[in-house]
Structure 1
């Protein structure tokens, strides 16, 4: 995954947490509504960017966890 997807997720998370804090502080409706719409739009864009990323890996399901081999379980 490229850094664009991670940056979008970080910004989206920050906006939605900020929205929650501002609701608790009793801020007017208009800025909250704009933040909510921006957060939802960024979430949709983030998911789309991550799911359409051209990410490939050489790992397979047989690799399981890299720090534990199946014999250790």
Structure 2
């Protein structure tokens, strides 16, 4: 394997690691949001604005995770 091929392999590995790190970060954020969501839902439902914000943020995180995982398929 030539030096150029080795460098390309290392760069590809770094990209995969970066993508996986971001996926894990987004999934953890959704997990944290789930906890807050369930806490708020059990408190009379007075925090509808925050509940909607949580749902929107979770949806955005899921979209980003989907796009990141698509990058790994290539």
Q: Normalising by the residue count of structure 2, what TM-score does the alignment of the two structures yield?
A: 0.58
Q: How does 1:44-63 map to 2 (within 5 A)?
A: 44-53=63-72
**Cα RMSD (Å):** 2.1
Structure 1: segments with no counterpart, 5+ residues = 56-73
User: 1:49 and 1:20 mapped to 2: Cα distance?
Assistant: 27
Residue 54 of structure 1 deviates from its aligned partner by: 6.0
Runs of 4+, deviation exceeding 2 Å? none
What do the CA deviations read for 1:3-61 (whole angstroms, capped 9, x no partner)?
11111111112112321221112342111111111111111211221232268xxxxxx
Residue 10 of structure 1 is matched in structure 2 by: 28
Bigger share in helix: 2
Q: Normalising by the residue count of structure 1, what TM-score does the alignment of the two structures yield?
A: 0.59
